[in-house]
């Protein structure tokens, strides 16, 4: 049987209890993470392998090197050589002379198996390829006992989530540090407000809210000479569901994660709508340009999650939560704005203008401090659950159906092939006019 397939149905209660208990056991265990004692005290060099050398990977590598002066990059891997070279050139301007970028030609790897060659060469790995590849890359890093930083999302389909969950159990047994790029959890404004809500009950029970990522959109990459169809889809990955998951998983997941965190639960059901109105060209692959999802939580809270890529429309990135005593509003990507108000409009707390460390930097600061001290950071639990929340929303939007948590978790809709190599058939194929299949609500099956 394909290892990505479920062996038996997993209930919501089983999933929540199993993962939460495993995380608790890992954090409380007395033994040090694999290799942690070698780095305690901060006197030894920690080596890094960068897997995925695009803009996010290069940014994460910079954050890592800023976090600890005893780090150096010793291996790099990417499907595309030009992307690896651009990343190397960017990093070399800052770190080559100091020896903190130590990647000779024999430790630059390209191709579909590049990650397997780079991961064994370092103490810590940075996994920043498109999210469809995350389960396989995470699994490989765990097998080799590596601490790691992983970008979100952790998968693009339910079989990938289950594969990640299985590897995460092994990571906990090995006491590996795993930080995952839902960076709002590392942002001081969110942490401060969360503490006030939890300890001071400042807004009461959360009843509703919205999680929004509406803007004009992101880059488009066109097919280059000599690229196979498979390589093109990975090159233009944002627009193909199998490798990116739609905007819900790639961007709106951040906002959804905040709602899950602050409510303290994960949705029981999702229903919604979406489609393509503006971004309908061939270059936009198969994803929707707008989604609107209504999540209902076991405790009764209802959250609307909006995501839109349409130029010249109202833009908003942030979260708003309505409680029985007041509200909290977070506004703006890369912003530390956070305001708590009572129901009369009085400001109870305002985080605006405070000088905070970038959450992109903070997650690396804490990761490497934990490795040095023999600590244990494990972000896998909530990251898997929030990824599943986003997949659940996409299933609802694409199909037009009500989707339960159990249906999402146990889905066999496999978008990402279990293994991808140069001979893998493209998971989606364009028609005779060059257009890719797009889901039709009310017609398409949930996936």
The secondary structure of 323-366 as a DSSP string is ESSEEEEEESTT--EEEEEETTS-EEEE-TT-----HHHHHHHH
Mean pLDDT value across residues 125-135: 98
pLDDT beyond 90 at 28: no
Among the listed residues 447, 400, 130, the one whose alpha carbon sits nearest the alpha carbon of residue 291: 400
Tokens of residue 345, six digits:
């409009």
User: pLDDT at position 37, please?
Assistant: 41
Cis peptide before 310 (omega within 30 of 0): no
What's the whole-number average pLDDT of the chain? Answer: 92
What 3-state class would DSSP assign to 384?
helix
> Rounded mean pLDDT of 56-72?
98
Q: Report DSSP letters for 261-319, one per residue.
A: HHHTS--SEEEEEEE-SS--SGGGTT--SEEEEEEE-TTS-EEEEEEEE-TTS--EEEE
Choose among 232, 36, 156: nearest CA to 416.
156
* Predicted structure pTM score: 0.92
Averaged over 30-55, what is the pLDDT? Answer: 68
**Is 234 exposed, middle or buried, given 0-12, 13-18 or 19+ CB atoms closer than 10 A?**
buried
pLDDT the model gives residue 10: 63
Cα(421)–Cα(45) distance, rounded to whole angstroms?
34
Return d(Cα 147, Cα 206) in angstroms, integer: 35
Please report, rounded to a whole number, the percentage of residues in the chain having pLDDT higher than 90. Answer: 87
Residues of the chain with CATH 3.30.360.10: 188-355+388-409
Give the per-residue pLDDT at 1: 39
Percent of all residues in the chain with a pLDDT value above 70, rounded to a whole number: 90
Contact 57, 86 (CB under 8 A): no
In the structure, what pLDDT confidence band is assigned to residue 11 with cuts at 50, 70 and 90? low
Residue owning tokens 């280059």: 224
Exposure string for 417-427, b = 16+ CB within 10 A, e = fewer: beebeeeeebb
CB-based burial label for 430 (10 Å; 0-12, 13-18, 19+): middle
* Residue 387 main-chain phi, psi, to 5 deg: -60, -45
Backbone angles phi, psi at 366, to 5 degrees: -75, -35
Domain 188-355+388-409 in CATH: superfamily?
A: Dihydrodipicolinate Reductase; domain 2 (3.30.360.10)
Which pLDDT score, from 0 to 100, does residue 70 have? 97
Q: How far apart are CA 92 and CA 213, in angstroms?
A: 34
Q: In this predicted structure, what is the pLDDT of residue 284?
A: 98
Choose which CATH entry (3.90.1280.20, 3.60.150.10, 1.20.120.420, 3.40.50.720) describes domain 12-184+362-378.
3.40.50.720
Give the H/E segment covering residue 45.
Answer: none
Q: Check whether 123 has a pLDDT greater than 70.
A: yes
Give tens-digit pLDDT for 345-396. 999 999 987 889 999 999 999 999 999 999 999 999 999 999 999 999 999 9
Q: What pLDDT score was predicted for residue 354?
A: 85
Cβ atoms of 239 and 287 within 8 Å: the answer is yes
If you average pLDDT over residues 18-27, what whole number do you get? 42
Q: At residue 313, what are phi and psi to the nearest 5 degrees?
A: -125, 165
Confidence of residue 17 (pLDDT cuts 50, 70, 90): low
**DSSP label at residue 75:** E
Number of helical (H) and strand (E) elements in the chain, helices listed first = 15, 15
Whether the Cβ atoms of residue 403 and residue 269 lie closer than 8 Å to each other: yes
Return left, alpha or beta for 245; rule: phi > 0 is left, psi -120 to 50 is alpha, else beta: left
List of residues 6+ apart from 435 with CB closer than 8 A: 282
* Whether pLDDT at 3 is above 90: no
CA triple 20-25-30, angle to 5 deg: 155
E strands within 100-215?
Answer: 108-110, 124-127, 147-150, 178-180, 206-215
pLDDT at 8 over 90: no
Tokens of 380: 């896998």
Confidence class of residue 267 from pLDDT cuts 50, 70 and 90?
A: very high
Question: Could you tell me which residues come within 8 angstroms of residue 335 by beta carbon, excluding any fewer than 6 positions away?
Answer: 318
CA 67 – CA 223 distance, rounded (Å): 37
Query: Is residue 321 pLDDT above 70, yes or no?
Result: yes
Interhelix angle for 253-263 vs 188-200, to 10°?
20
pLDDT at 333: 65
Give the number of residues written for the chain.
Answer: 447
| Confidence band, pLDDT 50/70/90 cuts, at residue 336 | confident
When pLDDT is averaged across residues 9-31 and rounded to a whole number, the result is: 47
pLDDT band at 39 (very low <50, low <70, confident <90, very high): low
Sign of CA dihedral 112, 117, 122, 124: positive
Which residues belong to CATH 3.40.50.720 in the chain? Answer: 12-184+362-378
């Amino acid at each position: 049987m394909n290892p990505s397939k479920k062996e038996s149905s997993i209930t919501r209660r089983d999933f929540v209890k199993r993962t939460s208990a495993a995380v608790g056991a890992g954090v409380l265990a007395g033994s040090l993470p694999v290799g942690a004692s070698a780095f305690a005290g901060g006197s030894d060099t920690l080596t890094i392998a960068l897997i995925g050398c695009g803009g996010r990977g290069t940014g994460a590598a910079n954050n890592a090197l800023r976090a600890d002066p005893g780090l150096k990059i010793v291996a790099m891997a990417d499907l595309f050589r030009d992307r690896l070279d651009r990343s190397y050139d960017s990093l070399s301007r800052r770190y080559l002379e100091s020896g903190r970028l130590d990647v000779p030609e024999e430790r630059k790897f390209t191709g579909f198996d590049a990650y397997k060659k780079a991961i064994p060469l370092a103490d810590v790995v940075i996994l920043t390829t498109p999210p469809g590849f995350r389960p396989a890359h995470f699994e490989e890093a765990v097998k080799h006992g590596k601490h790691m930083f992983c970008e979100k999302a952790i998968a693009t389909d339910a079989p990938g989530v289950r594969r990640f969950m299985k590897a995460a159990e092994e990571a906990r047994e090995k006491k590996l540090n795993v930080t995952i790029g839902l960076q709002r959890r590392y942002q001081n404004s969110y942490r401060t407000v969360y503490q006030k809500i939890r300890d001071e009950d400042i807004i009461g029970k959360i009843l509703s809210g919205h999680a929004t990522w509406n803007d004009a959109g992101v880059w488009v990459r066109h097919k280059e000479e000599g690229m196979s169809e498979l390589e093109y889809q990975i090159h233009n990955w944002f627009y193909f569901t199998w490798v990116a998951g739609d905007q819900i998983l790639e961007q709106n997941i951040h906002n959804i994660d905040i709602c899950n965190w602050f409510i303290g639960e994960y949705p029981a059901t999702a229903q919604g709508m979406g489609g393509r109105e503006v971004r309908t060209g061939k270059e936009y692959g198969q994803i929707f340009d707008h989604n609107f999802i209504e999540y209902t939580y076991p405790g009764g809270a209802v959250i609307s999650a909006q995501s839109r890529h349409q130029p010249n429309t109202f833009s908003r990135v942030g979260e708003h939560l309505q409680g029985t005593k007041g509200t909290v509003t977070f506004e703006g990507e890369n912003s530390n704005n956070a305001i708590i108000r009572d129901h009369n409009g009085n400001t109870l707390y305002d985080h605006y203008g405070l000088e905070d460390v970038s959450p992109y930097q903070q997650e690396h600061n804490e990761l490497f401090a934990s490795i040095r001290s023999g600590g244990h950071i494990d972000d896998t639990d909530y990251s898997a659950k929030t990824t599943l929340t986003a997949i659940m929303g996409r299933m609802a939007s694409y199909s037009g159906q009500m989707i339960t948590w159990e249906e999402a978790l146990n889905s066999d809709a496999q978008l990402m092939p279990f293994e991808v190599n140069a001979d893998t058939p493209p998971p989606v194929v364009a028609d005779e006019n060059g257009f890719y299949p797009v889901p039709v609500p009310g017609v398409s099956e949930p996936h």
